[in-house]
Amino acid sequence: MKKTLATFLILSAILGSTYSCKKKEKINDLNNKKMETSTISNNSIDKMKDTHWKLKWADEFEKETIDSNNWTLQVVKAGRFNDEWQRYTNSNKNAYIENNCLVIKAIHESDKHGLNQYTSARLHTANKQSWKYGKIAARIKLPQGKGIWPAFWMLGANIDENGGDTPWPQCGEIDILELYGTKDDGLIESNVHYADSSGSHAMMGATSFKLDKGKFADEFHVFELEWNENQLTWFVDGKQFAEMGISSGELTELHKAFFILFNIAVGGTYAGRPNDTTSFPQHMYIDWVRVYEKVIN
């Protein structure tokens, strides 16, 4: 009896060990698939293994709270920019870390549509992290709806808004992506703003990328800007859709350091206005943001 019991216990232990290993292998397989899905899902990400690029800085949003060494939550009253209806706060109701993502949340705080009836967040790396040239990339799931205006963009680090001595547009602005929900939730635009030789506002002109199907709110996509001394090039999921030469003498601002911004605006001169068809809250999920420098062989 004791021998039979011992044999049974040994067999149980072996089976249990086998099951545990298989279970562990299954979990590892799932984790690997998740990693493939989240970081190696398109040609754009495969390029990050390219020996031509070296990771210089990143925020993977793996901490419990937003890293203050990288980000400032800008506090801005409603209407300051582009007649937008939201006010930007530094509240963790409007920006926080969840499931290893930076989340920006636009909230409708009343049953009225109008100025100061919404809150949102605008985060930037000014005076903390800035770069001149490289590849700037982020994996993002965007919000949607009429009057919703999310952006992933850059401003010249010398802008007077953040303690510098240079006004906009002389500081330069690079829009890696903007989505105007009033236009099309499946279309994003890129643009560049600068001062021409007379000091007046000039721009590249919006260049768009439209999904073959669906909306940018349906799933995550990778948005990239490659920037060197000769040109700017934009990609969505590894597909190039825009470029601009920057060798002209009037584009000196595009050869200085820039910092990164993420935000959701609500309403505004260019974005249209939200209405009863716009659901709230709206979320912008940033899985990661990375900056690469070119490797010179």
Q: What's the token pair of residue 19?
A: 């099951």
Q: How many angstroms separate the CA atoms of 228 and 92, rounded?
A: 36
Same domain, 136 and 9: no
Q: Which domain holds residue 4?
A: 1-39
Q: Look at residue 204 in the predicted model and tell me its pLDDT.
A: 98
- pLDDT reading at 36 higher than 50: no
- pLDDT reading at 265 higher than 70: yes
pTM: 0.84
Same domain, 149 and 286: yes
Same domain, 125 and 232: yes
Same domain, 188 and 72: yes
Same domain, 66 and 20: no
CB atoms within 10 A of CB 46: 12
Query: What is the average pLDDT score of the chain?
Result: 87
| Average pLDDT, integer, range 93-105 | 98
Same domain, 118 and 3: no
Same domain, 245 and 136: yes
- pLDDT reading at 74 higher than 80: yes
Q: Look at residue 49 in the predicted model and tell me its pLDDT.
A: 56
140 neighbors 152 (Cβ within 8 angstroms): yes
Structural domains of the chain, count: 2
pLDDT tens figures, 147-176: 999 999 999 999 999 999 999 999 999 999
93 vs 13, residue with greater confidence: 93
Q: What's the token pair of residue 257?
A: 């350091």
- List the catalytic residues: 173, 178
Same domain, 118 and 208: yes
- pLDDT reading at 62 higher than 50: yes
Q: How many angstroms separate the CA atoms of 201 and 173, rounded?
A: 11
Same domain, 63 and 145: yes
